[in-house]
Amino acid sequence: MNWSHFFTSSVGKKIIMACSGLFLIAFLLVHAGLNACIWAFDGGEMFNKAGHFMGSTVVMRILEIGLFVFFIIHIVQGVVMELQNRSKRGSKGYAVALGNRGSKWYSRSMAILGLLILLFLIVHLGHFWIPNRSNQGWLLGEEINLFKEMKEVFSNPVWVLLYTVGVIALFYHLSHGFQSAFRTLGLTNHKYINIIQTVGLIYNVVICIAFIMMPISFYFGWVQ
């Protein structure tokens, strides 16, 4: 079995989804950790330092490209699989659906949730990443004050609401995605399933609360 066969079979495609998903899960942890610096209550000093660290060295910028690659793989593969899987039902669907009797709604809605997250991601990049990198001149130039930027953006209730919706979508996406990734990689059995589900839940709750509290903290002026 050559590599292309290995990764293009129905199981192989899932392995790609799982690996890229787990990478993104790891990234979210880093992202949330950095964001948490806003709660240093130092007028954004530590936060901007952290932001600067992530954007001002060649190594980080190269890793950033890697991150985008994984995002793109996860998104493209996800969309392609969804379309392929949908076509397997044949020309007619069921008149009465199984619905939630066999599975959780969000496990069946990964593509929709994923697309919601993608929309959110585009807005999010538009708010922070693009202005910052364009200010840097795409190289390692001067960065903008991200803390200030956040304050500004999150003073607008529309954006706060949108971020909240985005994070809720992320919560459900991860609720299935986290444990599903481990199943796909074959790491689930009766012994590990509980650990994986518990760790997944804790991770999910912590990450999502962290993300959601950010715009809220700014909006209500808890962080100055």
Partner 1 sequence: MEHYNMNLTLKVWKQKNSQSAGSFETYQIKEVSSEMSFLEMFDVLNEQLIHEGKEPIAFDHDCREGICGTCSMYINGRPHGPWHGTTTCQLHMRAFKDGDTIVVEPWRAKAFPVIKDLMVDRSAFDRIIQAGGYISVNTGVTIDGNAIPINRENADKSFAAAACIGCGACVAACKNSSAMLFLSAKVSHLALLPQGEIERKRRALDMVAQVDKEGFGSCTNTGACEAVCPKEIEITNIARLNREYLAAGLAADK
List of residues contacting partner 1 (CB under 8 A): 1-2, 5-6, 9-15, 81, 84-90, 92-99, 101-104, 107-108, 110, 176, 179-180, 182-190, 193
Q: Which is nearer to partner 1, 140 or 185 (CB)?
A: 185
Q: Which is nearer to partner 1, 98 or 158 (CB)?
A: 98
Q: Which is nearer to partner 1, 99 or 137 (CB)?
A: 99
Q: Which is nearer to partner 1, 11 or 206 (CB)?
A: 11
* Nearest distance in Å: CB 12, partner 1: 7
Q: Which is nearer to partner 1, 5 or 59 (CB)?
A: 5
* Nearest distance in Å: CB 66, partner 1: 22
Question: How is the chain split among helix, strand and coil, in percent rounded to 5?
Answer: 80, 0, 20
Q: Which long-range contacts (CB under 8 A, 24 or more apart) does 187-193 make?
A: none
* Nearest distance in Å: CB 90, partner 1: 4
* Nearest distance in Å: CB 17, partner 1: 9
Length of the chain, in residues: 224
* Nearest distance in Å: CB 5, partner 1: 8
